Structure 1
Amino acid sequence: MTMSRPAYKIDTAHPGSDLAGETAAALAAASLVFKKTDPTYANTLLTHAKQLFDFANNYRGKYSDSITDAQSFYSSGDYKDELVWAAAWLYRATNDNTYLTTAEQLYNDFGIGYWNVPFTWDAKSSGAVALLAQITGKQTYKDSLKSICDSLLSRQKTPKGLTFIDQWGSLRMVSNAAFICVQGADLGINADAYRQYAKQQIGYILGDTGRSFVVGYGTNPPTHPHHRSSSCPDAPAVCDWNTYNSASPNFHVLTGALVGGPDSNDNYKDERSNYVSNEVATDYNAAFQGLLAYLLKNNL
């Protein structure tokens, strides 16, 4: 007897505008990276980005309504922000005004400028605001970006100075938010305040208050990140639940990985089983690394 597996896919009958739109945005952005060094590859990326955006826009819906197994782990809040995000990136990559017109129309239709939610794997509205502000220079987008960032700077901080947005991946959340705001700084929006804020938050992450939250870097860095491969010994040694539950440090140092981070009172436990505070992920590191590069480039 064979067991059928659920279909982990989106199609016209089972849409996923957020999944397709996010992928379209990533491919469009990547095409810009490879445009000069490998134009053939860049064109391939752009072709698929266009196809995915057309699919996302024409067949609308949340991917987690189509791939229901994802609902317990990565349920999508909405797909509208990813459509705007994708259209804006396609304009950046193509200079085709059709995409800009679409991005601005959807932005207005969906009221994206009023969302003011943190920038995460699931929420791209603040990124879309920043991107449209960069592309168009229009005051309406700049004003929305200023509102987002001024609100961030006024948020509650932990006793040691971390802006606390959410418990799950607290450092990821502030890195992402600060990265959005330094884009505003480059547009002349509260430039000194946003850059100094970003520097202070990065300082917290790198160890200014006594410990680093980056694996393999600085003072007393995490040694038990919730990460499968780095916690396992080399084969053929056994890697099982005893390994997972061991108090020993991970067998391999996952250098450069940003862990989730502390709670609202700066409490943090370097425990492998604590996936809320000690998990690592690509979306944790992406804007964090971008922010580091920004600070380095600007000698901050």
Structure 2
Amino acid sequence: MLVAAWLLVMLTAASAVNVIIQNHWAGGFQGQVDIPVTSELHGWRVHLTFDQDVSSIEVWVADAQKVSDREYILSNKDFNADQHVGDTLSFTFLGHGTGDIAPHTEAFVEGMGTGGGTVTNEPVTVPPRTNAPSSGGGTSNKNYGDALGKSILFYDAQGSGRLPANNPIPWRGDSALGDCVVGGWYDAGDHVKFGFPMASSTTLLLWGLIRFKDGYVRANQLDMMYDMIKWPLDYFLNAWNPQTRQLVVQVGDGNADHAFWGRPEDMTMERPCFRLEPGKPGSDAAAETAASLAAGSIAFKDKGDTAYAAQLLTAAEVCTRSPRTNRGIYSQSIPNAANFYGSSGDKDEMCVGAMWLYKATRNNQYLEDAKANHENAWGWALAWDDKKVACQLLLFEETNDAAYRTEVEGFFQGWLPGGSITYTPCGLAWRDKWGANRYAGNAAFAALVAAEDGIQTARYRSWGVEQINYILGDNHHDGGCFSFQIGFGTKYPRNPHHRAASCPDRPAPCSHEQLDAPGPSPQLLVGAIVGGPDAQDNYVDDRKDYVLNEVATDYNSGFHSALAAIVHLQVTDNFPQTNNRCACNQ
């Protein structure tokens, strides 16, 4: 039996396909496997063999088993077990190793001859994973991958709880260890943990990771992104108690917190815990939390962390049962939240939550739930309290129903030039004075997703990239080339409305005096997006002006995922033509 098995492997290996290595970098590489199917398969096992040591691999359409540093066996998922003669078994994978390696790689399917393949290890263009037509031909002088990495650092700076040993923010330490739920993100420049916008931000960030993972690979930020996004997901797992059906949706009193100016490490005030429970409904916040958990399960299943993915999905499915039977607005149950993040309704969150659960499980009941909560209306914006266009986009992706496409186009009819949105002289789509950059960044991400879905691809790609270009410097503030992302380029805000960044290094004291202190903040809040300009492109870098200089986890979320989308366009040679009115050419 052992001899026969050995002979079978040797015979199939004799007709192995040479795998194309598309990209490589320090510590990893990306490969593309394309194996012609020459016999009917009802379940398959693919052997990958390398001529250099590969410490681990990540693959999203198969389960990976490590045989040695030179060989891995990939087994089919349930959804792709059947392969037919004439098909091509295709997938990409990431390999991790030491140094900048691009190993010669071969693949073969057990028991099936492959008929050879192209012998090359030269990088090639990765084809788009969409039905969107090509819209390439543009060029850019911006390092979007650098901006993406910096945005991850901003989220790291917002971490609450016991920070990990690899914490990259030297001026941040452990804080709020006595909270009812430890961990998570501080919301903005303050120290409240508002669960609803935290979940909304997490879902939007995960959407970008799932859809544009190759952007993170090209930017060499994939591991950092997984590390960053796990922080709020761990928090949500601890915030939800399935036995008591209680969900913590806020830690800290917003009013008491805003009276304190100092480091989170130095807080001494009471930090009350606000929960949803039977009799205190919050289907909007609960559904959004379920959405982030379900999206997280998809992302970490793709990563290969199946145990964590299963934990997230189980929590998401249990958490979503409560809002289906216990409808109500969370900020009516939690009056303290209403002063800061009052919700206007729950149907959009119910739809988005159901859609991510459908994507994670393929259970049609979730798709029907989403349709039942869908609203045939144009969203005011894509934001923590308005996810109509997200619901419509997700439904269109899964159903290809033209009615949902029309609704998405209606949203952008209002947002693109000629619609109802005000445009600044340099071209920012200016929705509101509170977080103008936030709304533009979120809409840009939605446009780039819609473009990938084949909706007005060329137009939406150009517009989405132009909005991000404005934020990163295509404006005339301070003589031009001013980035509203801190740390990007050479000119950017130095005085965000952020308590911890305004404090000198410990053990020096920090108090309200730092709010009024002249000069740049002692700590550079790398990666944060400040609120942005007024409708005339005017902006003042003033810590006390919290309208223009507030930062928040939701301010960065759509901008962040739009960056991943833009790097994806560069990877696939689909970067569009752009025409920013105040283009920075430095």
Q: TM-score, normalised by structure 2?
A: 0.49
Distance 2:376 2:548 in 1: 31
Residues 8-30 of structure 1 deviation map (CA, whole Å, 9 limit, x = unaligned): 11111000011101100000000
Greater share of strand residues, 1 or 2?
A: 2
- Other-structure match for 1:204: 470
* Rg larger in structure: 2
Residues 37-92 of structure 1 deviation map (CA, whole Å, 9 limit, x = unaligned): 21111111111111111111110001100111111111111111110110011001
Aligned partner of 1:56: which letter?
Answer: P
Pairwise mapping of residues 8-23 of structure 1 onto structure 2 (< 5 A)?
8-23=274-289
Distance 1:76 1:259 in 2: 23
**2:301 corresponds to 1:35:** yes
**2:465 corresponds to 1:194:** no
**2:452 corresponds to 1:181:** no
Residues 140-179 of structure 1 deviation map (CA, whole Å, 9 limit, x = unaligned): 1111111111221033211111111111000000110121
**Aligned counterpart in structure 1 of residue 518 of structure 2, from 231, 247, 250:** 247
**2:292 corresponds to 1:26:** yes
How many residues align? The count is 293
**Aligned counterpart in structure 1 of residue 376 of structure 2, from 108, 113, 133:** 113
Gapped runs of 5+ residues in structure 1? none
For residues 150 and 38 of structure 1, do their structure 2 counterparts lie closer, same or farther at Cα, with a shift above 3 Å needed? Answer: same
Query: Contact between 2:351 and 2:371, CA under 8 Å: does it hold in 1?
Result: yes
Pairwise mapping of residues 62-81 of structure 1 onto structure 2 (< 5 A)?
62-81=329-348
Distance 1:278 1:79 in 2: 29
- Other-structure match for 2:95: none
- Other-structure match for 1:166: 432
Distance 1:54 1:72 in 2: 28
Alignment partner of 2:422: what SS?
coil
Distance 1:43 1:244 in 2: 45
Distance 1:7 1:246 in 2: 33
- Other-structure match for 2:324: 57
Gapped runs of 5+ residues in structure 2? 1-269, 576-586
Aligned partner of 1:104: which letter?
Answer: K
**Aligned counterpart in structure 2 of residue 216 of structure 1, from 453, 478, 487:** 487
**Aligned counterpart in structure 1 of residue 528 of structure 2, from 234, 254, 257:** 257
Distance 2:353 2:337 in 1: 22
Aligned partner of 1:264: which letter?
Answer: A
Distance 2:399 2:547 in 1: 38
Distance 1:78 1:176 in 2: 20
**Aligned counterpart in structure 2 of residue 131 of structure 1, from 394, 410, 416:** 394
Residues 89-109 of structure 1 deviation map (CA, whole Å, 9 limit, x = unaligned): 1001111111001111221xx
Distance 2:379 2:336 in 1: 28
Distance 2:342 2:446 in 1: 23
Distance 1:93 1:30 in 2: 9
Query: Contact between 1:171 and 1:261, CA under 8 Å: does it hold in 2?
Result: yes
Q: CA deviation at 1:6?
A: 6.4
Q: CA deviation at 1:116?
A: 2.0
Distance 1:18 1:227 in 2: 28
Residues 190-239 of structure 1 deviation map (CA, whole Å, 9 limit, x = unaligned): 11111111111111101112111010112420000111211111211010
Distance 2:310 2:353 in 1: 16
Query: Contact between 1:170 and 1:262, CA under 8 Å: does it hold in 2?
Result: yes
Alignment partner of 1:298: what SS?
helix
Distance 1:124 1:216 in 2: 30
Aligned partner of 1:241: which letter?
Answer: H
Distance 2:279 2:440 in 1: 37
- Other-structure match for 2:97: none
- Other-structure match for 2:385: 122
Distance 1:151 1:187 in 2: 19
Distance 2:540 2:364 in 1: 50
Alignment partner of 1:249: what SS?
coil
**Aligned counterpart in structure 2 of residue 87 of structure 1, from 354, 357, 368:** 354
Any runs of at least 4 consecutive aligned residues in structure 1 with deviations exceeding 6 A, and if so which? none
Greater share of helix residues, 1 or 2?
A: 1
Identity of aligned residues (%): 43
For residues 6 and 232 of structure 1, do their structure 2 counterparts lie closer, same or farther at Cα, with a shift above 3 Å needed? Answer: closer
- Other-structure match for 1:275: 546
- Other-structure match for 2:213: none
Query: Contact between 1:117 and 1:126, CA under 8 Å: does it hold in 2?
Result: no
Query: Contact between 1:179 and 1:288, CA under 8 Å: does it hold in 2?
Result: yes
Alignment partner of 2:521: what SS?
coil
The CA RMSD over aligned residues, in Å, is 1.4
Aligned partner of 2:553: which letter?
Answer: T
